[in-house]
Amino acid sequence: MATIDDALAHSATSPYSQRILDDVVSTDTIEEIHENNERLYNQYFIVEKIGQGVFGRVYKAHDRKKGDAVVAIKVCKRHNIEEERMSQLRRNNPLPRSKGKARLADNLQAAEIRIRKEIAIMRKCNHSQIVRLYEVIDDRSQEKILMVMELMGGGEVKWRDEQSHQPVLRLEQIRRIFRDVTLGLEYLHYQGIIHRDIKPANLLWTADHKTVKIGDFGVAHFSRTLRIASLKSFGATEAQIQAAAEAVEDSILQDPSDLKRTVGSPVFAAPELVCDMPDTERGPDGDPRTPVTPAVDVWALGVTLYCLLFGRTPWNGQNQWQLYSLLGSEDFTVDPTMGSDGIQTGGRQHAHGDRTEGGMVVGLLEKLLEKSRKKRITVSEIKRVPWVLHGISNVDEWLATTSPHAPYASSNKSSSKANANKALPPINTQAPPKKQGYWATFWRTLVRLTCHTDVEDYSPLHTNPRVSEKEKAVK
């Protein structure tokens, strides 16, 4: 049996860690070593289990090649019997799809399709409010696929006290979380990605509890149509739009089979997904079976805000069907106070343009929890809502620097096909990072050359590059 030292010696010469994020369908090796109750996956030394989802376990680990930097590793299994059974059932009622699409997906089992899609979507993302994927270890001969990610040391956003069921966050904290998630969602929608599972449990704190990032892309959907529409709405040039349209090469991203399922948590599901709605509220192309648009994320963001404010969900039923029935027919109510600091809401009725804290929050909830998806506010509009902007000293500067299109707008290289689909680098408004040592620089350069992708330093001290110094003062 190989020892941990053997594995480290092997990993020093193996190319797997240099081939980061470049090719999801990989033949890389994964070596799993168990010794003295210690476990090592390649160069990653497992410290402890930090999360358990339906689809995988998440561990905290040390990266022995990078000075024991901490990472999170999600370990997923290629096969999931329950998922495969459901997939078999769905195959009896397939959605029509364009010729030549989803060939790769046809040859894979349901669980593996989902994992590959999650990876492909995370690979497209490079933003300070999105959990960053660093490396994928995918050994075809083994059952496990590993996703090495940025460690979110602060864990999930907790929204209520389990005993008293009261909110646990102050209104100012809620505003900052909401703002972070809005920026992350704006970026996702700009990239053509609909998350489909926005809820407090998928919002993760950095260790210093200053920033929240969106995680868990297990049911996210990529839409080329949305990507092009978003580029247009941000005033992209024809060349940029054309390049983006041609650049989606990953067939797993174009597989529409995930739209057949209603996914996500019922409490956070938008009415157009689960209620009997008029046809005009259905899918974007008149397809009643695919009402999956960015508006579903906005609704879930509204339910999330409500949970953080009041420590309860807006609609509650004895079962799922009762919940959906209430969702379709009843309006939401608000409690007399919000947040753990008990700020007055002033009730549901407010005069138009009421600038009290209660008036602004209730007004925002109304825009987010609008039952008609066509009338619902968009994430780019949310960024301009006074309650969200409160405390930002230079609003114009903040809007400009946080725009997901900003790097394109200011770059004349952006018309190239390669750039069009590449995850956009964050805008760095901070002082340049401290000079790296020789080996750190060597590895980073090697990774860049091998992967043709920007790899960020994942030191735990790495802070949010999009947040301006002025906004940091607010925080």
Structure tokens that stand for 26 in this block? 């990989």
Place of tokens 């075809």: 140
In angstroms, rounded to a whole number, what is the distance separating the alpha carbons of residues 176 and 184? 12
Give the count of residues interacting with ligand ATP (CB under 6 A). Answer: 21
- Contact string (CB under 6 A) for ligand ATP, positions 358-397, x = contact: ----------------------------------------
Least distance to ligand ATP from the beta carbon of 131, Å?
5
The answer to whether residue 130 forms part of the interface with ligand ATP (CB under 6 A) is no
In angstroms, rounded to a whole number, what is the distance separating the alpha carbons of residues 344 and 346? 6
Least distance to ligand ATP from the beta carbon of 215, Å?
5
Using CB under 6 A as the binding rule, the residues of this chain from 452 to 471 that contact ligand ATP are none
Q: Say whether 74 counts as a known binding-site residue.
A: yes
In angstroms, rounded to a whole number, what is the distance separating the alpha carbons of residues 194 and 189? 6
The answer to whether residue 204 forms part of the interface with ligand ATP (CB under 6 A) is yes
In angstroms, rounded to a whole number, what is the distance separating the alpha carbons of residues 106 and 103? 5
The answer to whether residue 124 forms part of the interface with ligand ATP (CB under 6 A) is no
Using CB under 6 A as the binding rule, the residues of this chain from 217 to 246 that contact ligand ATP are 218
Query: What are the helix (H) ranges across 30-93?
Result: 81-91
Structure tokens that stand for 431 in this block? 């002082």
β-strands 144-150, 69-77 pairing: antiparallel
Choices 45-53, 230-238, 269-277, 437-445 (CB under 6 A): range interacting with ligand ATP: 45-53
Choices 152-160, 169-177, 278-286, 452-460 (CB under 6 A): range interacting with ligand ATP: 152-160
Which residues, 6 or more positions from 30, have their beta carbon under 8 angstroms from its beta carbon?
Answer: 16, 41, 42, 137, 138, 139, 142, 144, 146
Q: Which of residues 303 and 365 has its CB atom nearest to ligand ATP in the complex? A: 303
Which one, of 409, 445, 444, lies nearest residue 424 by Cα? 409
**Backbone CA torsion sign across 187, 113, 267, 343:** negative
- Contact string (CB under 6 A) for ligand ATP, positions 254-273, x = contact: --------------------
In angstroms, rounded to a whole number, what is the distance separating the alpha carbons of residues 132 and 21? 11
Cα dihedral 71/73/74/75 (nearest 10): 180
| Single residue of 110, 130, 201, 236 touching ligand ATP by CB under 6 A | 201
Using CB under 6 A as the binding rule, the residues of this chain from 62 to 101 that contact ligand ATP are 72, 74
Which one, of 152, 256, 250, lies nearest residue 204 by Cα? 152
Q: Which of residues 74 and 227 has its CB atom nearest to ligand ATP in the complex? A: 74
| Single residue of 25, 53, 409, 416 touching ligand ATP by CB under 6 A | 53
Least distance to ligand ATP from the beta carbon of 324, Å?
21
What are the residue numbers of the active site? 197
Note the residues at the interface with ligand ATP (CB under 6 A): 50-51, 53-56, 58, 72, 74, 131, 149-152, 155-156, 201, 204, 215-216, 218
Annotated binding site for ATP: 74
